[in-house]
A and B are shown apart, each in its own frame.
Chain A
Amino acid sequence: MRLTYRAVLVALFVLALAVAACAQTPAAPSGGAQASAPTTASGSAQSSAPTAASSGAAAPKEAAKAAAPQKGGTLTIGLDSEPPTLDPHASPSAVSFYITNQACESLLYLDENRQLKPWLAESWDVSDGGKTFTFKLRKDVKFQDGTPFNAQAVKWNLDRIVNPNYKAGSALTYLTGFDKAEVVDDNTIKISFKNPYAPFLTNAAGGPLAMISPTGTPKQGDQVNKTPICTGPYKIDEWVAKDHATLSRWDDYNRQLPYASQSGPGFADKIVFKFVPENGTRMAAAESGEIQVAAAVPSQDLPRFESNSAYTVVKKPWVGTPRYWALNVTKPPTDDVKVRQAINYAVDKDAILNTLYKGIGTKGFAPLAASMMDDPTLRAYYPYNVDKAKQLLDEAGWKPGADGVRVKNGQRLEILLNDIDQGSGPQQIDVLLQGQLRNIGADVKLKTQARAPWYEDNYRCATNGPVLFLRSGDPDALTSLFASANVGSNFNFTCLKDPEIDKMLDQGRAESDPTKRKDIYMTLQKKLLDGAYMVPLADELSVWAEGQGVSGLAFDGFTYPIVTRMAGAK
């Protein structure tokens, strides 16, 4: 073959083009940003919002910044996943509420400081020892199909969720122990539970308990999954599967939204949510102007967007738990509290934040994320201290062995970490933990497996524990993670069965006084840290980019975005 220099030049040019583009092409997501556990919101309450944003995180933009934006235009937002349904009562996924929260309203509103505010209800009252909640409803509310909103409508909504023939999502969990809803008069509804259930107040502010039209919905049939009829400032016009959902401003909306500074409808004419799961594509679409707001900015794209003056990066701490390593208390060697404590001292969280998170996380230190509850005494637990870790292992009888791994009674100090493979091999954070614990003479083995057997091993307490997190607006999330009843199901993967902790969890669930409730969870968290049942790793941030001339992205107390006060691109 006569291979002339021109052919070589052509080939080289093509190759050079490819390499140059590659260097700037956003790469795949890092392990640190991937979900290894479901983002179920369990409950939500805590009206006394004790905490501000966690340290280190860039201050989130305030809604007030959007004081006088221009109205109109189309606002296009790129989301990293697609909702399974837009029926607020049926969805178990956070991403559904990213969309429905712009169009639908709940009885209460949880603001970004985690304070409860009136929304469809003007006021509320807790009685019967925390079992009964009475809401006074606004009289000037209509659904988008013209149906009046009243106590009958609320009852219809709640009865719909608890109907055994209806496949409800998070909404059903939000009504744990629901007894009945009674119409007192046209504008008063009384909701009773079988047991005291303090998280219900925050649940009532959540997207899953949004109100949909009692007359329009039955006529809709399956269409409620795509275009639910709500009371909010936007109407959901269409949802094209795997592509986008379009909302248009409902100009009849004349009330003042609980987060808005004046009354009236939304700002943008239209809001389009595009579903762009591939990180590289989503960020490229943001840079090209196809979308103005991008969800879930991956860590490797962060510096580029932060240094670009055309964009603002908005970071908001997630509510719920940090990403943490649940330590199985039933399987040696993590059945020994000294070993668990040693692991806690030996994990270098700063190294994890610097290498994996790179700006999309802050240090985790307690069972609940700092956005839920922050306290110096909690932060003081388990600083990085390898010597202390080694000393604890010595005390526990684990002596350095020949190959650097500690030994006790002929057994090597092996810890089996249940590692989920999402399609790209072991989680990077698990590999880091493996390396870090090597420093104290522990041999961490990764059991890397697909999601299904990963869950199964967690249910059977078959490993020394997985790394996971739980997003939740209420500290009652700890019930899912530590109550004996949830061993073998979701999500007590520590396999801990401690009657005292169960009792405290029940107290926290029953106490409706915010201050007392906070004290309960404070004591509980200390107890959980003393027992070293888990290793808090990182409080994760919800990271967004807004640009191309639009601004004003805000968040509610569930770390869900609010975009009704943003104007669109012209």
Chain B
Amino acid sequence: MYAYLSRRLLATIPVLFAVLLLVFSMLHLVPGDPVKLMLSEFQTSPEQIALLRSQLHFDDPLPVQFGRYVVNALHGDLGYSIRSKRPVTTEIAENLPSTLQLAVAGLFVAILVGVVLGIISAVKHHTWFDAGAMSIALLGVSMPSFWLGLLLIFLFSLRFRLFPATGGGDWQHLVLPALTLGLASAAIVARLTRSSMLEVMGREYITTARAKGVKEHSVILGHGLRNALIPLITIIGLQFGQLLAGAVIVETVFSRPGIGRLIVDAILNKDFPVVQGVVLVVATSYVVVNLLVDLVYGVADPRIRHG
């Protein structure tokens, strides 16, 4: 187990290195002089451009610049935001908790709604509930989240005045964004749970369990769901990445603080150090989540052993 863990951890190093390289080259792949582009909203003199160029070490050869970037990143120094002039790590640290909160709440919605709908659909296979639930799931998958967000704002903020439309803060501010973010994933989770459950519920051990007189809800949850979990865990892990990506849109629609909005603003303002930093953090969390998913396999299915 520990050998497996350390092997997996070692394997993340080249992945993160590749991410660093990609993120670093972004800046240099964009056409034009990065310094001029960074300053394009300011009226600048050639001296100011030269000063910034040397401050950012853009005069050095690219490999030297990359080496410096990697060393600094390892020390937790991701540079300074061009726009706010504050450290990128500070900006990310300020915004990350809000996004994690949103992603976890979204995941909660996705799992709760998705698994419940999926199980009921599978159990009540070929009924109007199944058809209705799967139609809603289809709608959920096809519905763009910015549109769903505006819809929820219209209904729950404007019509019923139940939840605020904007901002971060207490739990009321989290409800609509989490629903928006979670429902699309819920639809996917529901469809997968349903098909996975349908397959499992047709197996012989389910018939055996029923024959032994096990109560129906134990058959469904204990024997059915338990065995249907593996593909579900995989997809939930992947969905977590989707949720981070979805946060970009949801945070913009609901004006919530978060790294999604941080990166959108940074891209629009050509704030490259911030873009680099956020991409790095998101990529890292994606790698970490995938690792966690692999570890959870073992817990869910004792037949899978990490040796």
| Cβ B40 vs Cβ A490 within 8 A | yes
Interface size on A, residues (CB 8 A): 63
Residues of A within 8 A of B265 (CB): 82, 242
Question: Looking at the complex, which of B110-118, B151-159, B296-304 is the stretch in contact with chain A?
Answer: B151-159
Residues of A within 8 A of B204 (CB): none
Chain A minimum-CB-distance residue to B149:
A281
Bound form: Cα–Cα A14–B151 in Å? 12
Residues of A within 8 A of B161 (CB): 288-289
User: Which of B85, B86, B253, B255 contacts A275, CB < 8 Å?
Assistant: B255
Bound form: Cα–Cα A169–B48 in Å? 12
A217-274: which residues lie under 8 A (CB-CB) from chain B? 222, 225, 240-244, 274
| Cβ A285 vs Cβ B131 within 8 A | no
| Cβ A225 vs Cβ B85 within 8 A | yes
A446-491: which residues lie under 8 A (CB-CB) from chain B? 451-453, 455-456, 459, 480, 489-491
| Cβ B257 vs Cβ A281 within 8 A | no
Q: A92-B41, A452-B30 are in contact. Are A240 and B257 (CB under 8 A)?
A: yes
Q: A14-B139, A21-B155, A278-B252 are in contact. Are A244 and B167 (CB under 8 A)?
A: yes
| Cβ B157 vs Cβ A288 within 8 A | yes
| Cβ A242 vs Cβ B44 within 8 A | no
| Cβ B86 vs Cβ A242 within 8 A | no
Residues of A within 8 A of B143 (CB): 18
Residues of A within 8 A of B256 (CB): 242-243
Residues of A within 8 A of B31 (CB): 452-453, 456
Residues of B within 8 A of A452 (CB): 30-32, 37, 270
| Cβ B151 vs Cβ A243 within 8 A | no
| Cβ B151 vs Cβ A18 within 8 A | yes
Bound form: Cα–Cα A555–B131 in Å? 57
B214 at the interface (CB under 8 A from A): no
Question: Looking at the complex, which of A2-10, A44-52, A105-113 is the stretch in contact with chain B?
Answer: A2-10
| Cβ B128 vs Cβ A2 within 8 A | yes
Residues of A within 8 A of B98 (CB): 242
Bound form: Cα–Cα A78–B89 in Å? 28
User: Which of A22, A274, A281 contacts B153, CB < 8 Å?
Assistant: A281
A402 at the interface (CB under 8 A from B): no
Residues of A within 8 A of B59 (CB): none
Bound form: Cα–Cα A275–B143 in Å? 26
Bound form: Cα–Cα A22–B155 in Å? 11
B220 at the interface (CB under 8 A from A): no
B24-42: which residues lie under 8 A (CB-CB) from chain A? 30-33, 36-37, 40-42
A11 at the interface (CB under 8 A from B): yes
Q: Per-position contact with A for B239-263: 1 when CB-CB < 8 Å, else 0?
A: 0000000000001111111100110
| Cβ A92 vs Cβ B127 within 8 A | no
Bound form: Cα–Cα A1–B253 in Å? 38
Bound form: Cα–Cα A452–B30 in Å? 8
A287 at the interface (CB under 8 A from B): yes
Chain B minimum-CB-distance residue to A24:
B154
Bound form: Cα–Cα A275–B265 in Å? 12
Residues of B within 8 A of A455 (CB): 32, 36-37, 40
B43 at the interface (CB under 8 A from A): yes
Residues of B within 8 A of A244 (CB): 167
Nearest CB of B to A515, in Å: 28
Give the interface size class of chain B: 35 or more
A173 at the interface (CB under 8 A from B): yes
Residues of A within 8 A of B253 (CB): 278, 280-281
Bound form: Cα–Cα A40–B40 in Å? 10
Bound form: Cα–Cα A24–B158 in Å? 11
| Cβ B43 vs Cβ A169 within 8 A | no
User: Which of B42, B153, B270 contacts A40, CB < 8 Å?
Assistant: B42
Q: Per-position contact with A for B71-104: 1 when CB-CB < 8 Å, else 0?
A: 0000000000101111000010011001000000
| Cβ A274 vs Cβ B41 within 8 A | no
| Cβ B95 vs Cβ A242 within 8 A | yes
Chain A minimum-CB-distance residue to B94:
A241
Residues of A within 8 A of B154 (CB): 21, 24-25, 284
| Cβ A10 vs Cβ B257 within 8 A | no
Bound form: Cα–Cα A455–B252 in Å? 26
| Cβ A25 vs Cβ B151 within 8 A | yes
Bound form: Cα–Cα A92–B261 in Å? 20
A56 at the interface (CB under 8 A from B): no
| Cβ B165 vs Cβ A92 within 8 A | no
Nearest CB of A to B192, in Å: 18
Nearest CB of A to B87, in Å: 9
Nearest CB of B to A214, in Å: 20
Bound form: Cα–Cα A21–B161 in Å? 15
Bound form: Cα–Cα A21–B139 in Å? 15
B165-190: which residues lie under 8 A (CB-CB) from chain A? 165-169
Bound form: Cα–Cα A3–B166 in Å? 40
A42 at the interface (CB under 8 A from B): yes
User: Which of B33, B86, B131, B255 contacts A222, CB < 8 Å?
Assistant: B86
Q: A7-B135, A284-B153 are in contact. Are A85 and B84 (CB under 8 A)?
A: yes
Binding site for A on B (CB under 8 A): 30-33, 36-37, 40-44, 51, 81, 83-86, 91, 94-95, 98, 126-128, 130-132, 135-136, 139, 143, 146-147, 149-151, 153-155, 157-158, 161, 164-169, 251-258, 261-262, 265, 268-270
Q: Across chains A and B, which 3 residue pairs bring their CB atoms closest together, nearest first?
A: A242-B257, A456-B32, A38-B41
Contacts A170-B42, A243-B255 known; list 9 others, CB within 8 Å: A21-B151, A22-B151, A25-B147, A92-B41, A241-B257, A242-B168, A281-B150, A452-B32, A456-B36
Binding site for B on A (CB under 8 A): 1-4, 6-7, 10-11, 14-15, 18, 21-22, 24-26, 38, 40, 42, 78, 82, 84-85, 90, 92, 164, 167, 169-170, 173, 222, 225, 240-244, 274-278, 280-282, 284-285, 287-291, 422, 451-453, 455-456, 459, 480, 489-491
